[in-house]
Amino acid sequence: MNYVYMLCGWEGSAADSRVLKDAITRANSFRIPDGHYYLCDSGYTNGPFLALYRGVRYHIQDWNSQRTPPQNAHELFNKVHAKTRYVIERSFTLLKGRWAILRSNSFYPVKVQNRIIMGCGLLHNFIRTEMPYDPLEAEIPEVDDQISDDNDVAFINQVEPSQQWSNWRENLATNMFDEWRGNRPH
């Protein structure tokens, strides 16, 4: 639930793909190590970002209300994806809960607004790192999955749809479903 990259200044109506393209092509770019991926919503292309399967249930409330287990690999993938994305949503809720200035309209100049958002994000990360118990946050297992900044790591510098990534997602979903089905009581 820490922020690894923040790009402030885009208006809320900007297309996700435009913002992402800007993030990975600027001088202090959002760096995605080759062979790694980020989860994303269906507004992004399935490349180094693993998107949900469209047309397949995926909202957490859909799974909780229907109480029907996943029927195929795509449903299981979307269910796991939704649970993981929920952590992302919780981090934004925690950020806004901690910093009241982020909960309402701001009348500061855009440059100041950007700095406020960055400062709140940095303080959020600092609190999560240094505070043994945060009363605003439900207990979440610590995950230390930092990526080294070595120069020999290849980074992705463009985002385009790729059959290779679609195939990789399909294999991941199928393997998850097979393992899940094998662990279910019969």
> What is the spatial distance between Cα 122 and Cα 127, in angstroms, rounded to a whole number?
9
Place 144 in a pLDDT band, splitting at 50, 70 and 90. Answer: very low
Q: Stretch 175-184: mean pLDDT, rounded?
A: 82
For the cut 80, the answer to whether the pLDDT of residue 68 exceeds it is no
Q: How far apart are CA 48 and CA 44, in angstroms?
A: 10
Q: Would the pTM of this model clear 0.75, i.e. be above it?
A: no
Distance CA 157, CA 148 (A): 17
Q: Which of 128, 118, 119, 60 is nearest to 94 (CA)?
A: 128
Query: Residue 124: CB partners within 8 Å, gap ≥ 6?
Result: 2, 3, 91, 94, 95, 98, 99
* Beta bridge partner(s), residue 39: 50
- Expressed in percent and rounded to 5, the helix, strand and coil fractions of the chain are 45, 5, 50
Whole-angstrom Cα Rg for the chain: 19
* Domain segments of the chain as ranges: 16-131+163-183
Report, as an integer, the average pLDDT of 70-87. 83
User: Is pLDDT of 133 > 60?
Assistant: yes
Q: 149 or 98: whose pLDDT is higher?
A: 98
> Residue 27: its pLDDT value, please?
86
